[in-house]
Structure 1
Amino acid sequence: MPGSRRYDNPAAYLFKPAQWETHRTEFCHLVGKSPDASEALPLVMDELDEALTDLEEVLKRGDGPVRLNDDGELVISPLTAEDIPTEAEDLHAELERMLPNVPIASLLVEMDRHTGFLDCFVHAGGKQARSPQLKRNLIACLIGLSTNLGLHGMAASCGIPYDVLAWTAEWYIREETLREANICLVNYHHQLPVTAMFGSGTLSSSDGQRFPTRGKSITARHLNKYFVSEGISTYTHVSDQHSTFGTKVIVATHREAHYVLDEILGNATDLPITEHATDTHGVTLVNFGLFDLVGKQLSPRIRDLGKITLYRMGAKADYEGRFPKAGPLLTKKANLDLVADHWDDLLRLSGSLKYGHATASLIVGKLSASSRQNALAAALKEYGAIRRTIYAAKYLSDEGYRRKIARQLNKGESLHALRRQLHYAREGKVTRRQPEQQSEQAWCLTVVTNAVVCWHTEYMGLAVGELRGAGREVDAEVLAHISPARSSVVNYYGSITVDYEHELAQLDEQGHRPLRTAAVDEPGAGL
């Protein structure tokens, strides 16, 4: 359709052939792919053989959680609950008793002292003189929007006039500045010593969280499973270190899979993300193909994995001969000729996304909806089917890998719980109606959530250091089971007073407030 972005040919958004000539070599080197299909596809075939070899060994045992039944069908038993050491719960309770009680406003002042994240909020008109009260006003706005109090409610709680908060939010709080502030917090959290015990920062996950809305909005939809009336969805990307590096407001009825790659490719933090986990909602053949072509690994937890169609890259007799147990599961042959014919176009598509020439959510949505008449979409889905088969074989043959993916998805759920705890006012209903306003509110919630995670992680490190200094042995493997998203010492409620200078005066030379002594305080005093 001429002049239409929604119904235009997907190829119209990619690098032009002349542009691609200048980027092809660099891109292929960057993602480790050969520009020649005759070299690239045999390597993929070797990957498939290696994965099937491991799966064959598992199926030969015949009595594990992954096995074949009498009819030769794949049986996948659910993972048992992870055995979390009781020492982890005991240690977490002890650390919580040592952490100082802190109001949310004080926490944000302290994190600004360490990270300077409030300096990322610059005036929309450019460089402007910053008044002494600006940071106080910014903190009040962040709390008002993240807790869903709104600026009117925050003005009544903290005593700062509404027009002052409204002016500050209008000129300083927008998605651009919120993203920069969030990068500051994520990067600071990434370099804290305790953070490395949670994960390396190479694995991430994404999931949608639904919030009901009040009033009409173009992004709100009916979804009976989650809302009484209408609501929106915020799609967040979380690292294995419990930090949130991406947030996007989407229509609740849109498929989440279209938005998985956006924040991965747009990641501007220091997190070296190489692998990404989702649940079934984030899975399409297009995503499997694109993730591999941009040099990343998609590692979803797929519902009814034993019922998906698995692909082989050769004759049926050959695979069944080499893999008597696993071979018969590969019921369809991939169209390698189609993939080879469009290999350069697939690389050009991936390069366009990698270099930011096109938005991943737009391209993924269009290609996922394309009929088999579109040759590029068909080739990408064929390649995605091969990559999904390789992943399924690896996933089924390694229980430790399955647990790693489940553990990462659980980290995302724990952060959902923290956001719900923060977003308490008006029964959690979003009252802002414009998409830009909803996006700003979602990013405010992300920034404050990351500030809480940063603060909790840092003080956990101080408390662990004190215990070790007293001769206690604190195992790093036990610490890895403790989530910084669970904190009972932060107060989100009540009358809020933001006294920036007074709060700074409470900190020591290193910018910390004193720990509580567990031996002096009553058990559960901070609960």
Structure 2
Amino acid sequence: MLGLYGVTFIPVSATILKAVSFKSRVSLMPSRGLDFLKSLEGTRKMDLPEVPESVITSQTWWRLIATDNGTFNRKAYTFCVLEQLRIRLRRRDVFVSPSRRWNDPRVQLLQGDAWKSALPHVCRTLDRKKSFHLELSQLREQLNEVYLKTEANFSQNGAVRLEMVDGKEKLVLTRLEKLDTPPSLVSLWSMVKGLLPRVDLPEVLLEIQQKTGFANAFTHLSEETSRVKDLDISICAVLLSEACNIDLEPLSRADIPALTADRLSWVKQNYLRQETIVEANACLVDAQAEISLAQVWGGGEVASADGLRFRVPVSTLNATPNSKYFGTGRGITYYNFTSDQFTGFHSIVIPGTLRDSLFVLEGLLEQQTSLRPTEIMTDTAGYSDVVFGLFWLLGYQFSPRLADIGEARFWRIDGEADYGVLDGLARNPINVDLIEENWDDLLRVSGSLKLGVVSASSLMRTLQGGKNQSTLSKAIAEVGRIAKTKYL
């Protein structure tokens, strides 16, 4: 391969290195290799007396680059440097500026004076320490306390045990048995059902509008103050049509001005928009939060998030293929957020089946109701160490339902701590140095997300690069491992 492509590839690579500006925030191995290759521009020498050897990261490359006469093969070395460049570009440790796809992910965050002025407010709001050493001391104390408390009660819990698997201790949970429905609960269901009056759905919608005034959130597309007589009746009819997936015709009445076909069509075109629906929904959520029964259910501090898959028969940018859920067709995921007061306070349409965790934080940060959830529950699909880290940085408790909890890794900060029966389980050390080196950037990430400078989903698409995670992403994941271990 080197003999076939090397002669052609060397001038091409020289052109790329000359035309594209590669940058990095720290001194990296490819940078020295790139500078060396640039210095060779215009020369034809193929056997090099010396090269920056730190770029050669494996014995395989050494065998290709080092020759028997003590020189270095230029073709092989060029391929080696560019391979390292490719890897670090995907990690965003090296980036191209200007570029939309390959730019530094940190440029999306608060910068310079704007960040300096926002830092005290961000730390105070999110309860984070500006000094990493103070934050680390608190995290170490909290993690030790959780381990010791769990160890003290471990023998009393018959549903959990430790087993040796391939020479390593793993956590094993006993499957929960199905609970039979008691007759008293069946009787309660019947009694409650008997208390509910039989009414038409339009009557319910009109009564709720009368009590809450949610229809006032629907404003005209171009004339916000434009209001016609009985607009609330028209809006309720249009909403009913959309909710029941029926045409406007069954709801139209020629003898009622607010329900004529032309009136309903005009209202749908000019008043029904995403922003007006969001505002109206916030009005309903806030109204239910004031009901005493809803306050018995919860205070709005806990929420759950889950997705529903839908096939989409028409062509749309939001639909993508997934044979598991959509067969040979395309579909979307409707991701809904529900509070502990049983209100849906936010929803997002996700293209196809993108990883749900990309949108969990976005839903919490962008929802516009008076509820302020601090704990969010999701299924396993919404789980990753990076998500745990971002939730912790923003002051949230991430509580996924882990289907593979026995495979989860437990982490420790204090390598000298003795956790008794859990000592073998807590065998994975946290990379404290990596967190410290990136602490200011971690605070900038949380501050930028909290203040709405960048959206969670767009940032996490950059952070989550599979095996090619950036240094910043790895630092967030390390913080997430601490938060995940505390949760487990």
User: TM over 0.5: same fold?
Assistant: yes
Once the two structures are superposed, residues 360-389 of structure 1 have per-residue CA deviations (whole angstroms, 9 ceiling, x without a partner) of 111122112265562211111111112111
CA, structure 1 residues 155+274, in 2 after alignment: closer, same or farther (shift >3 Å)?
same
**1:47 equivalenced with 2:147 (yes/no):** no
CA, structure 1 residues 238+83, in 2 after alignment: closer, same or farther (shift >3 Å)?
farther
TM-score (norm 1): 0.69
Q: What does residue 330 of structure 2 align with?
A: 230
**Match for 1:300: what amino acid?**
P
Q: What does residue 35 of structure 1 align with?
A: 130
- CA contact under 8 A between 2:171 and 2:405: conserved in structure 1? no
Once the two structures are superposed, residues 16-37 of structure 1 have per-residue CA deviations (whole angstroms, 9 ceiling, x without a partner) of 0321110111111111111000
Cα distance in 2 for residues equivalent to 1:251 and 1:127 = 31
**1:8 equivalenced with 2:100 (yes/no):** no
Once the two structures are superposed, residues 174-213 of structure 1 have per-residue CA deviations (whole angstroms, 9 ceiling, x without a partner) of 1111111001100110110111222221100101111222
Q: What does residue 455 of structure 2 align with?
A: 359
Aligned pairs for 1:117-128 (under 5 A) are: 117-128=214-225
CA, structure 1 residues 253+22, in 2 after alignment: closer, same or farther (shift >3 Å)?
same
What secondary structure sits across from 1:378 in the alignment? helix
- CA contact under 8 A between 2:388 and 2:483: conserved in structure 1? yes
What secondary structure sits across from 2:324 in the alignment? coil
What secondary structure sits across from 1:48 in the alignment? helix
Cα distance in 2 for residues equivalent to 1:3 and 1:350 = 25
What secondary structure sits across from 1:167 in the alignment? helix
- CA contact under 8 A between 2:322 and 2:330: conserved in structure 1? yes
What secondary structure sits across from 1:241 in the alignment? coil
TM-score (norm 2): 0.74
Once the two structures are superposed, residues 465-519 of structure 1 have per-residue CA deviations (whole angstroms, 9 ceiling, x without a partner) of xxxxxxxxxxxxxxxxxxxxxxxxxxxxxxxxxxxxxxxxxxxxxxxxxxxxxxx
Q: CA deviation at 1:66?
A: 1.3
Gaps of 5+ in 2: 1-95, 254-258
Once the two structures are superposed, residues 46-83 of structure 1 have per-residue CA deviations (whole angstroms, 9 ceiling, x without a partner) of 1111111122134334x611111365431112334467
CA, structure 1 residues 11+58, in 2 after alignment: closer, same or farther (shift >3 Å)?
same
Candidates 160, 171, 179, aligned match of 1:66 = 160
Q: What does residue 269 of structure 1 align with?
A: 369
Cα distance in 1 for residues equivalent to 2:181 and 2:160 = 23
What secondary structure sits across from 2:360 in the alignment? helix
Cα distance in 2 for residues equivalent to 1:327 and 1:93 = 51
**1:278 equivalenced with 2:374 (yes/no):** no
Q: CA deviation at 1:85?
A: 5.4
Q: CA deviation at 1:126?
A: 3.0
Q: What does residue 112 of structure 2 align with?
A: 17
**1:94 equivalenced with 2:194 (yes/no):** no
Task: Name the larger-Rg structure.
Answer: 2
Query: Please, which moves more after superposition, 373-382 or 206-215?
Result: 373-382
Percent of aligned pairs sharing the same letter:
32
Aligned pairs for 1:1-400 (under 5 A) are: 4-61=99-156, 64-69=158-163, 72-81=169-178, 86-149=183-246, 153-159=247-253, 160-228=259-327, 229-315=329-415, 318-319=416-417, 322-369=418-465, 374-392=470-488
Cα distance in 2 for residues equivalent to 1:56 and 1:302 = 21
CA, structure 1 residues 53+200, in 2 after alignment: closer, same or farther (shift >3 Å)?
same
What secondary structure sits across from 1:270 in the alignment? coil
Cα distance in 1 for residues equivalent to 2:199 and 2:185 = 23
CA, structure 1 residues 19+253, in 2 after alignment: closer, same or farther (shift >3 Å)?
same
User: How many pairs are equivalent?
Assistant: 384
What secondary structure sits across from 1:207 in the alignment? strand
Cα distance in 1 for residues equivalent to 2:99 and 2:252 = 48
**Match for 1:78: what amino acid?**
R
What secondary structure sits across from 1:194 in the alignment? helix
- CA contact under 8 A between 1:277 and 1:299: conserved in structure 2? yes
Once the two structures are superposed, residues 238-269 of structure 1 have per-residue CA deviations (whole angstroms, 9 ceiling, x without a partner) of 10111001111111221110000012112322
Once the two structures are superposed, residues 78-129 of structure 1 have per-residue CA deviations (whole angstroms, 9 ceiling, x without a partner) of 3344676543442232122122112211111000011000011011113344
CA, structure 1 residues 167+8, in 2 after alignment: closer, same or farther (shift >3 Å)?
farther
**Match for 2:151: what amino acid?**
E
- CA contact under 8 A between 1:58 and 1:66: conserved in structure 2? no
Cα distance in 1 for residues equivalent to 2:433 and 2:113 = 25
- CA contact under 8 A between 1:155 and 1:165: conserved in structure 2? no
Aligned pairs for 1:500-515 (under 5 A) are: none
Once the two structures are superposed, residues 414-459 of structure 1 have per-residue CA deviations (whole angstroms, 9 ceiling, x without a partner) of xxxxxxxxxxxxxxxxxxxxxxxxxxxxxxxxxxxxxxxxxxxxxx
Cα distance in 1 for residues equivalent to 2:262 and 2:174 = 59
**Match for 1:250: what amino acid?**
I
What secondary structure sits across from 1:69 in the alignment? strand
Q: CA deviation at 1:330?
A: 2.0
